[in-house]
Structure 1
Amino acid sequence: MTKDVTVLGAGIIGICTALSLLERGARVRLIDRGEPGQEASFGNAGIISPWSIIPQSLPGVWRQIPQLMLSHNPALTIRPKTLFKMIPWGLEFLKRGRPEIVEEAADTMEFLCAPSIDLYRRHLEGTGGEQLVRDSFYVHAFRDAGKANLDAIDYRIRREKGADVVLADQNELRRLEPALSKDFKGAVLIRGQARAVSPGRIGQILAAKVKNLGGEILMRDITSLHKTEDGWSVDCGEEQFSASSVVLSLGAWSPALLEPLGIRMPLMAERGYHVEFPEPGITLTHSIMDVDRKVVASSMENGMRLAGLAEFAPVDAAPDARKKPQLESIAQAMFPDLNASKPNFWMGRRPSFPDSLPALGCWPDFDGLVANFGHSHYGLMMAPKSGEVAADIVLGVSQNRDLGALSPVRFSRRPRSAHEVRKS
Structure 2
Amino acid sequence: MENRITILGAGAVGICTALSLAERGAQVRLIDRTDPGQETTFGNAGVISPWSFIPQALPGTWKKIPGLLLGKYRPLSVRPSYWPKMVPWGLSFLRNGADSKVQEIADAMEPLCAPSIDLYRRHLNGTGAESLIQDSLYVHAFRNVGDDVLNAIDYRIRREKGAQLELVAEQELRRLEPALSKEFKAAVLIHGQARALAPGRVAEVLAQKAAGLGVDIVHDRVTSLKRENGSWQIQCETADYRAGNVVITMGAWSAELLKPLGITVPLAAERGYHIELPDPGITLNHSIMDVDAKFVASSMADGLRVAGYAEFGAVDAPADPRKKDRILAQAKSAFPDMNEKDASFWMGRRPSFPDSLPMIGEFSGHEGLYAGFGHSHYGLMMAPKTGELLADFLTGRKPNLDCSPYRTGRFSDGLV
- TM-score where L is the length of structure 1: 0.96
Post-superposition offset of 1:400: 3.2
Contact 1:137 1:287 in 2 (8 A): yes
Following superposition of structure 1 onto structure 2, how do residues 82-121 of structure 1 map, counting pairs within 5 Å? 82-121=82-121
2:363 corresponding residue in structure 1: 363
Residue 42 of structure 1: SS of its match in structure 2?
coil
Post-superposition offset of 1:215: 0.6
Q: Deviations over 1:374-409 (max 9, x none)?
A: 100000000000001011111221123321110111
CA distance in 1, matches of 2:277, 2:238: 42
1:420 corresponding residue in structure 2: none
Contact 1:2 1:25 in 2 (8 A): no
Post-superposition offset of 1:91: 0.3
CA distance in 2, matches of 1:376, 1:3: 31
1:286 corresponding residue in structure 2: 286
Following superposition of structure 1 onto structure 2, how do residues 35-114 of structure 1 map, counting pairs within 5 Å? 35-114=35-114
Tell me the C-alpha RMSD between the 2 structures: 1.3
CA distance in 1, matches of 2:128, 2:400: 34
Residue 378 of structure 1: SS of its match in structure 2?
helix
Following superposition of structure 1 onto structure 2, how do residues 317-328 of structure 1 map, counting pairs within 5 Å? 317-328=317-328
Post-superposition offset of 1:144: 0.3
Post-superposition offset of 1:72: 3.5
1:154 corresponding residue in structure 2: 154
Residue 260 of structure 1: SS of its match in structure 2?
helix
CA distance in 2, matches of 1:363, 1:370: 6
Residue 412 of structure 1: SS of its match in structure 2?
coil
Residue 275 of structure 1: SS of its match in structure 2?
strand
2:277 corresponding residue in structure 1: 277
Post-superposition offset of 1:268: 0.4
Following superposition of structure 1 onto structure 2, how do residues 345-424 of structure 1 map, counting pairs within 5 Å? 345-415=345-415
The letter of the residue matching 1:366 is: H
1:422 corresponding residue in structure 2: none
Post-superposition offset of 1:228: 2.5
The letter of the residue matching 1:394 is: L
1:236 corresponding residue in structure 2: 236
Post-superposition offset of 1:96: 0.2
Post-superposition offset of 1:81: 1.5
Residue 145 of structure 1: SS of its match in structure 2?
coil
Q: Deviations over 1:57-101 (max 9, x none)?
A: 000000110000002431000001111111110000000001111
Q: Deviations over 1:348-399 (max 9, x none)?
A: 0000000000010111100100100010000000000000101111122112
Residue 31 of structure 2: SS of its match in structure 1?
strand
Unmatched 5+ stretches in structure 2: none
2:262 corresponding residue in structure 1: 262
CA distance in 2, matches of 1:165, 1:284: 20
CA distance in 2, matches of 1:292, 1:170: 16
1:125 corresponding residue in structure 2: 125
Post-superposition offset of 1:148: 6.6
Higher deviation after alignment, 147-156 or 30-39: 147-156
The 4+ residue runs of structure 1 with deviation greater than 3 A are none
CA distance in 1, matches of 2:272, 2:238: 34
CA distance in 1, matches of 2:150, 2:3: 48
The letter of the residue matching 2:179 is: A
Q: Deviations over 1:279-315 (max 9, x none)?
A: 0011011000000000000000011010010000100
Contact 1:2 1:26 in 2 (8 A): no
C-alpha spacing 1:238/1:300, structure 2 compared with 1 (3 Å):
closer
CA distance in 2, matches of 1:300, 1:238: 36
2:308 corresponding residue in structure 1: 308
The letter of the residue matching 2:41 is: S
Contact 1:5 1:244 in 2 (8 A): yes
- TM-score where L is the length of structure 2: 0.98
The letter of the residue matching 1:243 is: A
Higher deviation after alignment, 236-245 or 190-199: 236-245
Contact 1:283 1:299 in 2 (8 A): yes
The letter of the residue matching 2:328 is: E
2:173 corresponding residue in structure 1: 173
Corresponding residue pairs, total: 416
CA distance in 2, matches of 1:278, 1:390: 37
1:194 corresponding residue in structure 2: 194
The letter of the residue matching 1:354 is: P
Residue 324 of structure 1: SS of its match in structure 2?
helix
Contact 1:148 1:167 in 2 (8 A): no
Contact 1:2 1:27 in 2 (8 A): no
CA distance in 2, matches of 1:377, 1:183: 27
Following superposition of structure 1 onto structure 2, how do residues 196-211 of structure 1 map, counting pairs within 5 Å? 196-211=196-211
C-alpha spacing 1:206/1:283, structure 2 compared with 1 (3 Å):
same
Q: Deviations over 1:205-246 (max 9, x none)?
A: 111111111111111110111112332111113521111100
Residue 168 of structure 1: SS of its match in structure 2?
strand
CA distance in 2, matches of 1:136, 1:320: 32
C-alpha spacing 1:2/1:111, structure 2 compared with 1 (3 Å):
farther
Residue 41 of structure 1: SS of its match in structure 2?
coil
Contact 2:45 2:298 in 1 (8 A): yes
Contact 2:2 2:243 in 1 (8 A): no
Contact 1:51 1:110 in 2 (8 A): yes
Residue 200 of structure 1: SS of its match in structure 2?
helix
2:340 corresponding residue in structure 1: 340
CA distance in 2, matches of 1:187, 1:314: 36
